[in-house]
Amino acid sequence: YLSKSGLVGYSSPSNIAIIKYWGKTGVQIPLNPSLSFSLKHSVTETSVSYVLNPGQKDLCFNFYFEEGKSKKFEQKMEVFFNRVIDKFLWLHHYKLKIESKNTFPHSSGIASSASSYAAMALCLAKIHQQITGIKLSMEEISNIARLGSGSACRSVFGAWNTWGKFDMENSSNLNALNISQYVHPSFADIKDTILIVSKDKKEVSSTTGHQLMESHPYKTGRIQQANEHMLKLMEVLKNGDWNSFIEVAETEALSLHGLMMSSSPGYTLLLPNSLQIVQRIRKFREQNKIPVCFTIDAGPNIHVLYSASNKKQVREFIQKELLPYCENKSFINDELGSGPTEI
Ligand code: PMV
Tell me the one-letter amino acid at 110.
I
Q: How far apart are CA 168 and CA 63, in angstroms?
A: 39
39 Cβ closer than 6 Å to some ligand 1 atom:
no
Confidence of residue 271 (pLDDT cuts 50, 70, 90): very high
Nearest to 137 by CA among 129, 84, 12, 337: 129
The pLDDT value given to residue 211? 96
The pLDDT value given to residue 73? 81
The pLDDT value given to residue 175? 98
For ligand 1, mutation pick of 20, 31, 155, 296 (most atoms within 8 Å of CB): 20
What sign results for the dihedral spanned by CA atoms 176, 181, 187, 192? positive
Q: What is the pLDDT of residues 77-115, one digit of tens each?
A: 999 999 999 999 999 999 999 999 999 877 666 778 999
The pLDDT value given to residue 109? 67
Least confidently predicted of 44-48, 72-76, 113-117, 329-333:
72-76
Confidence of residue 339 (pLDDT cuts 50, 70, 90): very high
Q: In CATH terms, are 5-181 and 184-335 the same topology?
A: no
The mean per-residue pLDDT over the stretch 45-59 comes to 94
The mean per-residue pLDDT over the stretch 14-26 comes to 97
Query: SS3 breakdown of the chain: % helix, strand, coil, rounded to 5?
Result: 45, 25, 30
149 Cβ closer than 6 Å to some ligand 1 atom:
yes
Contacts of 330 (CB under 8 A, 6+ apart): 108, 195, 196, 199
Confidence of residue 332 (pLDDT cuts 50, 70, 90): very high
CATH of domain 5-181: 3.30.230.10
132 C-alpha to ligand 1 centroid (Å): 33
Nearest to 38 by CA among 343, 341, 342, 339: 339
Atom number, ligand 1, closest to the C-alpha of residue 28: 3
The pLDDT value given to residue 64? 87
Atom number, ligand 1, closest to the C-alpha of residue 152: 1
Long-range contacts of 266-269 (CB under 8 A, 24+ apart): 267/203, 267/204, 269/202, 269/203, 269/204, 269/298, 269/299, 269/300
- For the cut 80, the answer to whether the pLDDT of residue 215 exceeds it is yes
301 Cβ closer than 6 Å to some ligand 1 atom:
no
Q: How far apart are CA 246 and CA 131, in angstroms?
A: 47
The pLDDT value given to residue 112? 87
Q: How far apart are CA 208 and CA 128, in angstroms?
A: 33
Domain topology for 184-335: Alpha-Beta Plaits (3.30.70)
260 Cβ closer than 6 Å to some ligand 1 atom:
no
- For the cut 90, the answer to whether the pLDDT of residue 71 exceeds it is no
Q: How far apart are CA 215 and CA 199, in angstroms?
A: 30
19-30 as b/e: b if 16+ CB within 10 A = bbbbbbeeebeb
What torsion do the CA atoms of 14, 16, 20, 22 make, to the nearest 10 degrees? Answer: 30
Q: What is the pLDDT of residues 152-176, one digit of tens each?
A: 999 999 999 999 999 999 999 999 9
Tell me the one-letter amino acid at 21.
Y
- For the cut 80, the answer to whether the pLDDT of residue 334 exceeds it is yes
What sign results for the dihedral spanned by CA atoms 229, 231, 235, 240? positive
Is 52 within 8 Å of 1 (Cβ atoms)?
yes
Strands 94-102 vs 60-65: parallel, antiparallel or unpaired: parallel
What sign results for the dihedral spanned by CA atoms 34, 122, 296, 208? positive
Tell me the one-letter amino acid at 158.
G
The mean per-residue pLDDT over the stretch 182-211 comes to 94
Atom number, ligand 1, closest to the C-alpha of residue 163: 13
Is 185 within 8 Å of 240 (Cβ atoms)?
yes
The pLDDT value given to residue 201? 82
Q: How do the domains of the chain map onto residue ranges?
A: 5-181, 184-335
Q: How far apart are CA 222 and CA 215, in angstroms?
A: 12
Is 40 within 8 Å of 158 (Cβ atoms)?
no
